[in-house]
Structure 1
Amino acid sequence: MSDWDNDGKAGWGAESTPPSKQDSEAGDSQAPEERRDWKLIEKLVLSMQSEQRKSRRWGIFFKSLTFIYLFALLFLLKVPVESGLKAAAGPHTAVVEINGPIAADEEANADDVIAALRDAFEATEAKAVLLRINSPGGSPVQAGYINDEIERLKGEHPDKKVYAVISDIGASGAYYIAVAADEIYADKASLVGSIGVVAGGFGFTGLMDKLGVERRLYTAGKNKAFLDPFSPEKPGEVAFWQNVLETTHQQFIEQVREGRGDRLKENDQLFSGLVWTGEQALGLGLIDGLGSARYVAREVVGEKKMVDYSRKPSPFKQLVDDLGVSVGSGLAQALVQSRLELR
């Protein structure tokens, strides 16, 4: 501790001792080393802070990117399916597409098709409704729903005609829908008809015997295992199922006769499940003329402007379907289910 002497000069008190030369030399020798250590520590701390800042920036970037991705994904899932231009400017021909297999889990399902039909019929500037069909058929229930709804909407809008136009194929359940239209058109090479019912599956009993696999099935109700693919066929069950097919076939025939009326040229083959070209179908009265959708809109309806009211799957669902995610489940269903189809 320093104090001041009588002359006002700094000095060392009685209890204080000045630093020795040895201590001074030791302090001088350690100071540069300590300064280097502190500089290294300072650099390390600054480096760590810099890395933390960079890490935070990248963290914010990736979190933002994830948020944008999830937001876009949610948007694609929640965005309503397209229903066409419901308020199109000027008169037009309303188009409703029926593409691919007709089933509850397909694009051509009754809910979406019926919703599109209602929009098309309710559009005041739609001069007519055109069903553009390209389908091999499918569920008789889904096809029946659509057929019934077309008839109901025609009753509510008697001044608005319905035209069905078949492109590549309009068979079975697709033709079941088409007969609800006022007129049906197709290309001369289109495939039309196939008025019949089919149900199929697979039997694995022989394979199971070869593999040494034992089937164990427990049911309550003697017919609960009806047509089980892993059990031998029973004549009684086959006869019962055949009766179901025949009944459904007769319902199909009745709808065709009701829709086509005296335009049909009936023969022994007409309702046998055979399919004809558009040119042959015209001779049998299954269609009313040859032509494309644009031809019908332009020449028959008289309004060449076409507006598509079809409901489309969301982009996300389309992407998933394109990637084939549902292939496995579809294959499993095909192997174990016996599904009734108009084909």
Structure 2
Amino acid sequence: MAGRIRNWIGKLFGRGGTVIPVVRLNGVIAADTRPGRLNIAAVGPLLKRAFDMKAAPAIAIIVNSPGGSPVQSRLISKRIRDLADETGKHVIVFVEDAAASGGYFIAVGGDEIIADPSSIVGSIGVISAGFGFVEAIEKLGITRRVYTAGKSKSTLDPFMPEKAEDVQRLSDFALDIHHVFIDHVKTRRQGKLTAPDDEIFTGQWWSALRGLELGLIDAIGDLHETLRTRYGADVQLKLIEPKRPLLSLPRIGISAGGAGGITGDVIASVEDRALWSRFGL
């Protein structure tokens, strides 16, 4: 209690330690609004509040994500850079369990990337997966009826035989996204990458120790030790959290869609678990 009173008095008279805003980005990157998802709609306001702290010399961003939507990843990373350029603030990204795929896309938006030695970094690639049920519905005696206007409207329908041209179209699309990812990493890590493209941009992921050798990150460390070393033992970390409505009802797991909402949450949880499990997490 005495310590809290001293901190309060210090802040009141301007004698407190340097305040560093901290934004935690934890979870799968997706456009939907389920709790725990990362997207520009949820993250943008938090970043704005952090960069609006004029006295702060730097912004700390914690990234812990296995990836997800390439669009939302780019939007978040771009918002970090836009705000950093507007305010002139230094951005330090700290990696926890993983900054992989879209998580790494976000991380390179910072000026520095610091990770735990056992963190997972990289996975600079694009993946698309699905299922085929053609033989299953045949065995069940089910006939699939699809009516479209436009020959490519039913591309990769899981209940229809796979077409070579559809697979090629999806492959070309993935390559386009991959090039966006590669260009972003090369721009942000210019002069730091130490391995050739055919090693770094294969979709492979590494421990932070190996990532440091490859130039994917800048240092091994953690948030508290790094900030105390740079800004003094009395540095104050200000966690920027989402604002809650004054009168908010607890979430009880049933959406406006009833049982369908529950099913959607279960499916989303399975998808999230699958993304994390790719890295053994």
Q: TM-score, normalised by structure 1?
A: 0.66
Alpha-carbon distance in 2 for matches of 1:299, 1:254: 33
Alpha-carbon distance in 2 for matches of 1:202, 1:137: 21
Instruction: Give per-residue Cα distances to partners, 1:253-272, cap 9 Å, x unaligned.
Output: 11001111111112322111
Aligned residues of 1:128 and 1:301 also touching (Cα < 8 A): no
Alpha-carbon distance in 2 for matches of 1:284, 1:320: 44
Which range is displaced more, 296-305 or 204-213?
296-305
Whether 2:250 is the aligned partner of 1:320: answer no
Structure 1 residue 126: Cα displacement: 2.3
Q: 2:211 aligns to what?
A: 281
Aligned residues of 1:297 and 1:305 also touching (Cα < 8 A): no
Structure 1 residue 146: Cα displacement: 0.8
Corresponding residue to 2:61 among 103, 128, 131:
131
Distance 1:236 1:325, change over 3 A: closer
Alpha-carbon distance in 2 for matches of 1:334, 1:218: 32
Paired residues, number:
246
Q: 1:95 aligns to what?
A: 22
Q: 1:259 aligns to what?
A: 188
Instruction: Give per-residue Cα distances to partners, 1:237-259, cap 9 Å, x unaligned.
Output: 11011000011001101100111
Whether 2:238 is the aligned partner of 1:307: answer yes
- The share of aligned pairs that are identical, in percent, is 38
Aligned residues of 2:134 and 2:160 also touching (Cα < 8 A): yes
Matching residue's letter, 2:67: G
Aligned residues of 2:253 and 2:262 also touching (Cα < 8 A): no
From the two aligned structures, give the one with the greater helix fraction.
Answer: 1
Alpha-carbon distance in 1 for matches of 2:144, 2:260: 30
Which range is displaced more, 266-275 or 164-173?
266-275
Alpha-carbon distance in 2 for matches of 1:325, 1:126: 45
Q: 2:44 aligns to what?
A: 114
Alpha-carbon distance in 1 for matches of 2:201, 2:122: 8
Q: Give the match's secondary structure for 2:24.
A: strand
Gaps of 5+ in 1: 1-87, 336-342
Q: State the Cα RMSD in Å.
A: 2.5
Q: TM-score, normalised by structure 2?
A: 0.80
Structure 1 residue 127: Cα displacement: 2.5
Instruction: Give per-residue Cα distances to partners, 1:38-75, cap 9 Å, x unaligned.
Output: xxxxxxxxxxxxxxxxxxxxxxxxxxxxxxxxxxxxxx
Alpha-carbon distance in 2 for matches of 1:250, 1:318: 40
Alpha-carbon distance in 2 for matches of 1:257, 1:331: 37
Aligned residues of 1:201 and 1:334 also touching (Cα < 8 A): no
Matching residue's letter, 2:173: V
Q: Over alpha carbons, which structure has the higher Rg?
A: 1
Gaps of 5+ in 2: 1-10, 271-278
Instruction: Give per-residue Cα distances to partners, 1:266-304, cap 9 Å, x unaligned.
Output: 232211111100111011100000111112222245563
Q: 1:212 aligns to what?
A: 141
